[in-house]
A and B are shown apart, each in its own frame.
Chain A
């Protein structure tokens, strides 16, 4: 239980285009999901907290118009990188917390990540 599916796992896009990354909770409802970004050999950096039915909360320095987050249902959050540039190339990971904890990891479940390369 408490599985988060992230798709795609890898994407290459041209500069100026937009890319959508999906994060789905498969067997639980996630009112909140978290989006992280990880550059090579660095730690995870929180980008935003995605709340179902309301606007996402972005961390300081993260452009909300560039990284559009939509959490339209209790099982799906999407991150759209708009007008992508090479510096947006990174590893993006979503996370959700199963309600009431649960499982070995007390509810924090991570997607498998998306490797975005902008050329």
Chain B
């Protein structure tokens, strides 16, 4: 059974600081997804990482994937209040066909002044 673990689950950080969210998964996969969820809303896609060593950046967020270590990171640079949200990583374990994503528990990020 594919398991996806995120840490930390809660993160309170000051504006301007840097931090990293970690996502470990239990089976071989070279497709990993990061999503953002605001309260009361559905998921917003942030990054899709499709191969070992993939790195993608958008604004203050950068995601990377190490398939050998089964680890992905989401790095936050110089956090701003607008980044406050819950961040989920998800893995498509089967690497084929129409299989559902398995989600981590999410990291609730609060950026404070």
Enumerate chain A interface residues (CB-CB to B < 8 A).
Answer: 6, 31-32, 34, 41-44, 46, 49, 51, 93, 95, 97, 104-106, 108, 110-113, 115
Contact = CB atoms under 8 A, between A and B. Distances in A.
Interface stretch (B20-28, B42-50, B67-75, B76-84): B42-50
Contact of B98 (A46, A97, A106, A115): A97
Q: Is the interface of A mostly helix, strand, loop or mixed?
A: strand
A105 B45 CA distance: 6
Nearest to B104: A43
Given A93-B43, A104-B48, A110-B42, A49 B104 contact: no
A35 to B, nearest CB: 9
A112 B104 contact: no
Contacts of A34: 100-101
Contacts of B50: 106
A32 B97 CA distance: 10
